[in-house]
């Protein structure tokens, strides 16, 4: 079941409203991998497809963020706002209905880097030679891609190019470089969600098409003269984004493996199944027997498949909000309320676990590297229960 955005806003607003006046800028902590990360964003216009949700005929236009690894020696440390001003202000206003002060999301930053002069040409050769595999991310219904930037940065630090995708009229807000915005449409019924899923799948394939174009990549990494290798790509997503990952793998041969983070499956993949690797990670209490779509799909998965449950977690744990809440002290001040929304597990620990399992899965999919972490219980992460192995 997907988290109700209104309920989520109300609970977080009530909690944050008492905490926010006392905090300043807060940065997400260091990453799990050996690389630093550089981040850039751009818009992509699909001139071959009209947006089915737009009030007047216009091309489907997306926003993406690209996270790419940078060797520490080539990095100039920098702080990057977690959200752009317009998106952060929108989220603040959403929460303000329950009394939240302005500045909640603008207080958050990411530790990133600006590459030294001359790095781009070297990185371009590495990208063309597939040193860093490409992975796409799709967020849940109603959520901006920016709510998963800390997770994307964690994965990128282990040696992956990660591209997060906003799905306009699905995300609460999408902000473009010219400061234009698109707000969410009313997508609530199963029929509407299935239609939205199909739009999302086409978004994913379009993004892959664009990432292969040198002119697009040069916007994201100035100085690059080549497109990315999009022939073998991983994909993961949260909630409806997880369903998007599975459905997109069914229709696009470039996608070679995927992860569903706590999402109910929709679409034809349930009955048709997959012969590609698929990993499911769920919040505590969600499994093959409690989600009918999981139980229906599981026997139709003919390739590598794994099911994990993160004890102490809730649906919201799989966004960056769990760690953000801990960073500003919400867990200590309001443990009962925070646990109801984000689980009892420490937010930083949850992010580390999710990022590590994600990285190990894509190491297997993209590089053929096997990991005991995917095959049996881990003493390092006792919070994870294995299933479906």
Cα atoms in the Cβ-side hemisphere of radius 13 Å centred on 119: 17
How many domains does one find in the chain? 1
Residues 82 and 45: beta-carbon distance below 8 Å: no
Provide the CATH number for the domain around residue 103.
3.40.50.1820
% of the chain with per-residue pLDDT over 90: 72
For the stretch 157-203, pLDDT in tens is 999 999 999 999 999 999 999 999 999 999 999 999 999 999 999 99
Q: What's the pLDDT score for residue 95?
A: 56
Lowest mean pLDDT among 97-101, 115-119, 239-243, 278-282: 97-101
For the stretch 224-236, pLDDT in tens is 788 999 999 999 9
Q: Where does the pLDDT of residue 117 fall: very low under 50, low under 70, confident under 90, or very high at 90 and above?
A: low
Domain, as residue range, for 144: 5-387
Q: What's the pLDDT score for residue 341?
A: 80
- Whether the per-residue pLDDT at 2 is higher than 70: the answer is no
Beta strands in the chain (DSSP E): 26-27, 36-50, 59-70, 75-81, 108-115, 134-138, 161-166, 173-175, 181-183, 233-238, 255-261, 278-283, 305-310, 384-387
Residue in this structure with the two tokens 């953000």, named with its chain if needed: 324
Write the CA distances from 23 to 14, 80, 101, 332, integer angstroms. 16, 18, 11, 14
For the stretch 198-217, pLDDT in tens is 999 999 999 999 999 999 99
């Amino acid at each position: 079941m997907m988290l109700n955005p209104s309920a989520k806003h109300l609970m977080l607003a009530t909690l944050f409203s008492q905490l926010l006046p006392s905090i300043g800028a807060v940065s997400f902590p260091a990453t799990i991998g050996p690389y630093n990360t550089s981040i850039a964003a751009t818009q992509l216009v699909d001139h071959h497809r009209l947006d089915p949700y737009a009030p007047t005929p216009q091309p489907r236009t997306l926003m993406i963020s690209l996270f790419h690894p940078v060797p520490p020696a080539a990095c100039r440390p920098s702080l990057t706002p977690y959200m752009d001003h317009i998106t952060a202000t929108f989220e603040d206003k959403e929460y303000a209905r329950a009394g939240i002060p302005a500045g909640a999301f603008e207080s958050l930053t990411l530790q990133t880097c600006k590459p030294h002069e001359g790095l781009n040409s070297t990185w371009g050769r590495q990208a063309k030679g597939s040193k860093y595999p490409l992975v796409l991310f799709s967020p849940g219904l109603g959520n901006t891609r920016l709510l998963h930037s800390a997770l994307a940065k964690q994965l990128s630090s282990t040696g992956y190019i990660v591209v997060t995708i906003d799905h306009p009229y699905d995300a609460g807000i999408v902000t473009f470089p010219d400061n234009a915005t698109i707000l969410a449409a009313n997508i609530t019924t199963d029929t509407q969600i299935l239609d939205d899923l199909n739009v999302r799948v086409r978004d994913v394939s379009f993004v892959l098409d664009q990432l292969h174009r040198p002119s697009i990549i040069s916007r994201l990494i100035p100085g690059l003269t080549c497109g990315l290798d999009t022939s073998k790509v991983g994909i993961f997503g949260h909630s409806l984004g997880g369903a998007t990952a599975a459905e997109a793998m069914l229709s696009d041969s470039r996608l070679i493996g995927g992860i569903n983070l706590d999402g109910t499956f929709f679409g034809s993949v349930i009955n048709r199944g997959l012969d590609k690797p698929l990993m499911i990670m769920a919040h505590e209490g969600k499994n093959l027997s409690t989600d009918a779509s999981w139980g229906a799909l599981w026997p139709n998965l003919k390739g590598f498949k794994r099911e994990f449950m993160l004890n102490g977690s809730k649906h919201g744990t799989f966004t960056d909000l769990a760690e953000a809440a801990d960073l500003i002290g919400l867990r200590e001040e309001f443990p009962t309320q925070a646990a109801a929304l984000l689980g009892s597990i420490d937010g930083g620990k949850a992010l580390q676990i999710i990022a590590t399992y994600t990285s190990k899965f894509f190491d297997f999919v993209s590089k053929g590297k096997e990991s005991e972490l995917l095959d049996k219980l881990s003493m390092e992460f006792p919070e994870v229960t294995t299933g479906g192995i």
